[in-house]
Every structure is written in structure tokens, then in C-alpha cells.
Amino acid sequence: MEEDHLVLPLSRPAPGAMGKTGTWRNYKPVIDQGKCIKCLLCWLYCPEATIIRHEDNSVSVDYEYCKGCGICANECPVKAIEMVPEVQGGA
């Protein structure tokens, strides 16, 4: 009995529960910081929490996990985000 250990079906929140999902991406969002008006819509709509909101409400992309859905670019009211193919001539 002593060697027994309880194996419970319990998990803890952690990034990468499905691995480095950045590898799923065909297109990557590239933010033109000069155009950005810090409205935070991309941050709000991002389904992945991979738009990083900084202290001054400027934003950047967590490319390790961003799946490249493109919602941020679609919702950006000033077209400050461009979806760029990951592979030249590919995707």
C-alpha cells in the first residue's frame, strides 16, 4: 500500500496545453505601431489571448502561440494589422 500514489484526473492552467500553437499559423499578424491608435479592439477580440496588452495599451503579438486566425486584422478600425504569409509563396 505504501508504494501506492493517487493518480487524480486533475490539471492546472498553463500555456501550451496543446503545444506551441504558433506552428499552426499560415499567416502572421504584423502590427504597424505607427498606425495603431491603442483602441484595444484586437486585444479584446483575440480568441487566443495572444495579443499582448502593454502598460500603455500598446499591443504586440505572442507569436509562440498565435494561431493566425486574423480576427485582429479584420477588426482593426485603422488597418494597422497586416496578415503576412508565413512561407513566401506558400500558405
Site for another protein, rule CB under 8 A: 1, 4-21, 24, 39-41, 43-50, 53, 57, 62, 64-71, 73-75, 83
Chain-centroid distance of CA 81 in Å reads: 13
Minimum Å gap between C-beta 34 and another protein is 21
Nearer residue to another protein within complex by CB, 33 or 57: 57
Query: CA-CA distance, 71 to 42, in Å (whole number)?
Result: 7
What whole-number distance in Å separates Cα of residue 68 and Cα of residue 87? 13
Looking at the Cβ atoms of 20 and 35, the one nearer to another protein is 20
- Residue with Cβ nearer another protein (12 or 89): 12
Residue 30 CB, nearest approach to another protein (Å): 14
**66: number of Cβ within 10 Å:** 22
Q: How far is it, in rounded angstroms, from Cα 2 to Cα 40?
A: 55
Q: How far is the CB of 27 from another protein (least distance, A)?
A: 9
